[in-house]
Amino acid sequence: MAHADSASGAAPVGGPAFAGDMSADVVVVGAGPAGASAAYHLAAQGLDVILAEKQELGRDKACGDGLTPSAVRELVRMGVDISDWRRNEGLRVIGGGRRLHIPWPEQVSLPSYGLARRRSDLDRDLAEHAANAGARLLTGVTVTGPVTNTAGRVVGVAARPTARFTYPGISSPTRLRAPVVIDAGGVSARLATAMGRDKNGRRPLGVAVRAYFRSPRAEDSWMESRLELWDGPANRSALLPGYGWVWSVGDGLVNVGLGSVSSHPAAARVDYRAVFARWLASAPASWGFTPDNQVGPLASSALPMAFNRKPHYADGLMLVGDAGGMVSPFNGEGIAQALMSGRLAAEAAAQAAARSTAAGRERALAQYPAALEAEMGGYYTLGRIFVALIEHPEVMRACIRYGLGRKRLMKLVSKLLSDGWERRGGDATDHLIQLLTRMVPAA
Ligand SMILES: Cc1cc2nc3c(=O)[nH]c(=O)nc-3n(C[C@H](O)[C@H](O)[C@H](O)COP(=O)(O)OP(=O)(O)OC[C@H]3O[C@@H](n4cnc5c(N)ncnc54)[C@H](O)[C@@H]3O)c2cc1C
CB-CB contact of 88 with 223 (8 Å): yes
Residue 235, pLDDT score: 56
Residue 5, pLDDT score: 42
pTM of the model: 0.92
Percent helix, strand and coil across the chain, each to the nearest 5: 35, 25, 40
Q: Where are the beta strands (DSSP E) in 111-227?
A: 114-116, 136-139, 141-148, 154-161, 174-177, 180-183, 205-214, 222-226
Mean pLDDT of the chain: 88
Average pLDDT estimate for 121-140: 96
> Percent of the chain, pLDDT > 90?
63
Sequence-ordered alpha helix ranges (H) in 240-310: 272-282
* pLDDT tens track for 169-183: 566 778 999 999 999
Average pLDDT estimate for 379-399: 82
Average pLDDT estimate for 202-212: 93
Cα(150) to centroid(ligand 1), Å: 32
Average pLDDT estimate for 399-410: 72
Q: Which of 317, 303, 297 is nearest to 387 (CA)?
A: 303
For residue 11, pLDDT beyond 80: no
Average pLDDT estimate for 296-302: 94
pLDDT band at residue 308, thresholds of 50, 70 and 90?
very high
3-state secondary structure of 220: coil
Residue 221, pLDDT score: 94
Average pLDDT estimate for 44-57: 96
* pLDDT tens track for 417-432: 888 888 888 888 888 8
Atom 4 of ligand 1, nearest CA residue: 63
* Residue 140 beta carbon below 6 angstroms from any ligand 1 atom: no
pLDDT band at residue 168, thresholds of 50, 70 and 90?
low
Cα(187) to centroid(ligand 1), Å: 7
* Residue 338 beta carbon below 6 angstroms from any ligand 1 atom: yes
* Residue 177 beta carbon below 6 angstroms from any ligand 1 atom: no
Cα(355) to centroid(ligand 1), Å: 32
For residue 232, pLDDT beyond 80: no
227: burial class by Cβ within 10 Å (0-12, 13-18, 19+)? buried
Average pLDDT estimate for 17-42: 89
Average pLDDT estimate for 384-409: 76
Residue 169, pLDDT score: 59
Residue 60, pLDDT score: 93
> Percent of the chain, pLDDT > 70?
90
Residue 217, pLDDT score: 94
Average pLDDT estimate for 303-324: 97
Segment (H or E) for 72: helix 69-77
* pLDDT tens track for 241-298: 888 999 999 999 999 999 988 887 655 678 888 889 988 988 899 999 999 999 999 9
Atom 33 of ligand 1, nearest CA residue: 30
149: burial class by Cβ within 10 Å (0-12, 13-18, 19+)? middle
Average pLDDT estimate for 34-61: 96
For residue 118, pLDDT beyond 50: yes
Q: Where are the beta strands (DSSP E) in 251-345?
A: 253-262, 294-304, 313-314, 317-319
For residue 165, pLDDT beyond 60: no
Average pLDDT estimate for 146-174: 81
- Our separate counts of H helices and E strands in the chain read 12, 22
Average pLDDT estimate for 312-340: 97
Average pLDDT estimate for 94-121: 91
For residue 2, pLDDT beyond 50: no
pLDDT band at residue 7, thresholds of 50, 70 and 90?
very low
Cα(371) to centroid(ligand 1), Å: 22
